[in-house]
Structure 1
């Protein structure tokens, strides 16, 4: 076990928003605190009044700095305006390492950019897959490549995600043995997501007279909602005993409403709207089959939660989804209308024939994924980073991004360094109000025992 260190989780995506990245940061932080480390979270503010410092159980301090999101909970990339806030927070909290999350998190990228000026080590976790051929992906990938040139370690949540991140972030170098061959850098790791299995126990046995298909997803193009719109009427027509229960919100909600009206399926397709994460299990146990139609997916925590709750899973075979579950717990389909209908038909036959055991599925998932294991493996990455040589400013400047982006990023590094020196003069370190007291382990164990005895889940706390 490594010596305790102070860690800052930095991301635009955190509570009160709910999602895979938000839950990952919270659960990983809680486990690292349990292992004796000090952990804080830095994120943007939320209207109308969530700004400043807040505390979450068991002893997680969250800094909401006064930046508002522009779209999808992400802030505008500005490189420099966050430096005064991050410098003050990181210094006064005696941070040794920052852990940034998500490629679209501007504040995460900026945290990595600024931290090296203070001798703070950096780790980045990529949670999503991105393409290479549209304008948004090109700009995002170039920003990611600039950030990852200077990061000390990169973590991906699946092997497919690792391949995608390596290509997007240009995380390869020429082999010393064969200069004509490119090899992936040694500081790229794979650590999957996890879940708290006790929060997704299967419900009582359900009758097969009616088969409920559950869909819990953000209703957006990337999540394949167009496939759901196209296939749901065909499935309802082929199987009179099938109903859909759809939870989530997003721009594709109007398409679902129009489809339901067009085919007169108001009694067959129930739209729940946004579902709090604390209510996910209560929705899942209403069904027998979970349907995922994503067009791209790095890991798919919703699939894991559904399988843990005892549902048989049908999913498009994209991204890191094939890595999540054994083949006898999931049916795959190509992201095409006809193949999705085929896979759903196969799943319905399996469920109606009693070939899927929800309790056995729950016990198997319990042994596959555990936050304790994720935290332990993340500790290994932290320990490796802390013990590795520090990257100097000149080395960072020399890591060019090409003839066009390279000079621009070099200018950003130099301006960032000058701005940092100005802040060192304007707000001297000796004038900062340093944090001298934090939760000790005895106090933490006391709160944790109360937390466990009251049977309050992490998701209920976040809600």
Structure 2
């Protein structure tokens, strides 16, 4: 492993509203990428907001330092966007940890967006990863896209998790230079998500759903197909893991159609239990209405499940046709494709679980994602972008007249606040933190930092 490590080492700050103990694709991406970057010799810290009573500094596996800053979430696990209020503590962390590169995650994250502006004023390089797809017509998308455009205008490079996501982000953020945006897909830890053919029942066919039960994940479609499949196939059961406002619809369908013994609702489950849930099934069903890259599909395929999914967003890019059955996001087509998969299970006309697992293992690997992300870091570090205040403000011109004046006003206010904070708390008075992550990895035999 030492021979693979690059000579250049970066001090990286991952920033997002979404991190553990919250569970999801972005949270898993940040954690896995951070672990692989630590393995490659880089210094990595994570900044997120507090979760209930979890605030302050915590250490995770291999000495990954996480700052849970004392800012409460406002809506949908995101903080209230103010920009100015987070400057003092974010500045203190970036200086204390001697950060050379800030990596923000998710267009939904207000904390990541704010940290971009703070990092720009501090002369720190910026990389941004977009994990989502957005529309262009509704008010929410228009506002989010305008904020994304302002943030991307000062970012040094943008990473997307699929080609579809790249095209979507390119249009939403009005990126002028196509060389500024790269595609690095997600991955799966195949050492955790392993098949277990003995875990699934032999006399039943279990369809597994692991998803947040919200509109965007197609819960309404799921509610429409469950009664029909259960009516046609008495040997089919549903195992559903996840929580959300749409769970009440599934509970109502369960009561209305008397499917208490056919539908098992697990609710929200810890990340470490997802694999044990998946291996209990034969078919994995995804009904998302929009998806940039669905990690849950990779996890299910790695466990040897036959995948049925809606053909939306970046999903067609994930797996070959032999591993996944795609359909339009409609109830009739979903029922038809699920029936095809049921017949395949009955006839044995499918790829063996271990073969599927080995293919996924060769196709997707977090270490490969880390290597490719590392090349982006090196490219950004070598770029000679201007960090002057005037240069940053001029980049906002592409955000439109109203967007330009609003974001310029906020950016200048942030600059003046930075000057005040610099005066009362000079950077040379801030104690520098030791590189605990590397120390913890080297001394793992005597220092347990889990």
**Superposition TM-score, scaled by structure 1 size:** 0.92
Counterpart position of 1:177: none
Which of the residues 2, 5, 10 maps onto 1:5? 10
CA deviations over 1:392-428 (Å, ceiling 9, x no partner): 3212211211121111111112111111111111111
Aligned residue for 1:404, secondary structure, equals: helix
Contact 1:308 1:361 in 2 (8 A): yes
Counterpart position of 1:324: 318
Cα drift, residue 209 of structure 1: 3.1
Cα drift, residue 446 of structure 1: 4.1
Query: Hey, what's the Cα distance between the residues in 1 that align with 2:104 and 2:345?
Result: 41
CA deviations over 1:10-38 (Å, ceiling 9, x no partner): 11111111111111111111111111111
Which of the residues 3, 10, 32 maps onto 1:27? 32
Query: Hey, what's the Cα distance between the residues in 1 that align with 2:168 and 2:327?
Result: 21
Query: Hey, what's the Cα distance between the residues in 1 that align with 2:446 and 2:425?
Result: 41
Cα drift, residue 448 of structure 1: 7.5
Runs of 4 or more, structure 1, over 4 Å off, are 205-208, 448-451
Query: Hey, what's the Cα distance between the residues in 2 that align with 1:341 and 1:2?
Result: 53
1:387 aligns with 2:385: no
Counterpart position of 1:435: 433
1:201 aligns with 2:199: no
Cα drift, residue 449 of structure 1: 10
Cα drift, residue 208 of structure 1: 5.2
Residue pairs, 1:369-448, within 5 angstroms: 369-391=364-386, 392-399=388-395, 400=397, 401-440=399-438, 443-447=440-444
Query: Hey, what's the Cα distance between the residues in 2 that align with 1:449 and 1:217?
Result: 39
Query: Hey, what's the Cα distance between the residues in 1 that align with 2:405 and 2:310?
Result: 42
Cα drift, residue 207 of structure 1: 5.5
Query: Hey, what's the Cα distance between the residues in 2 that align with 1:266 and 1:306?
Result: 25
Contact 1:123 1:155 in 2 (8 A): yes
Change (3 A) 1:116 1:242: same
Cα drift, residue 445 of structure 1: 3.6
Cα drift, residue 204 of structure 1: 2.5
Counterpart position of 1:38: 43
Counterpart position of 2:3: none
Aligned residue for 1:155, secondary structure, equals: strand
CA deviations over 1:28-55 (Å, ceiling 9, x no partner): 11111111111000110111x2111111
Q: Any stretches of 5+ residues in structure 1 without a counterpart?
A: 173-183, 452-457
Contact 2:43 2:435 in 1 (8 A): no
Which of the residues 216, 235, 241 maps onto 2:210? 216
Cα drift, residue 376 of structure 1: 0.2
Contact 1:97 1:122 in 2 (8 A): yes
Change (3 A) 1:28 1:448: farther
Change (3 A) 1:264 1:11: same
Residue pairs, 1:207-286, within 5 angstroms: 209-286=203-280
Query: Hey, what's the Cα distance between the residues in 2 that align with 1:437 and 1:364?
Result: 37
CA deviations over 1:194-247 (Å, ceiling 9, x no partner): 111011111124555311000010000000000000011011111111100011
**Superposition TM-score, scaled by structure 2 size:** 0.95
Counterpart position of 1:146: 150
Cα drift, residue 256 of structure 1: 0.4
Query: Hey, what's the Cα distance between the residues in 1 that align with 2:436 and 2:208?
Result: 43
Aligned residue for 2:237, secondary structure, equals: strand
Aligned residue for 2:59, secondary structure, equals: strand
Query: Hey, what's the Cα distance between the residues in 2 that align with 1:448 and 1:117?
Result: 40
Counterpart position of 2:19: 14
Counterpart position of 1:180: none
1:75 aligns with 2:79: yes
Contact 1:54 1:61 in 2 (8 A): yes
Aligned residue for 2:259, secondary structure, equals: coil
Q: RCO higher in 1 or 2 (8 Å CA, sep ≥ 6)?
A: 2
Aligned residue for 1:313, secondary structure, equals: strand
Contact 2:197 2:353 in 1 (8 A): no
Query: Hey, what's the Cα distance between the residues in 1 that align with 2:249 and 2:354?
Result: 35
Contact 1:208 1:351 in 2 (8 A): no
Cα drift, residue 450 of structure 1: 9.2
Query: Hey, what's the Cα distance between the residues in 2 that align with 1:371 and 1:341?
Result: 34
Q: Any stretches of 5+ residues in structure 2 without a counterpart?
A: 1-5
Contact 1:10 1:99 in 2 (8 A): yes
1:297 aligns with 2:302: no
Change (3 A) 1:449 1:134: farther
Aligned residue for 2:344, secondary structure, equals: helix
Which of the residues 50, 54, 64 maps onto 1:50? 54
Aligned residue for 1:197, secondary structure, equals: coil
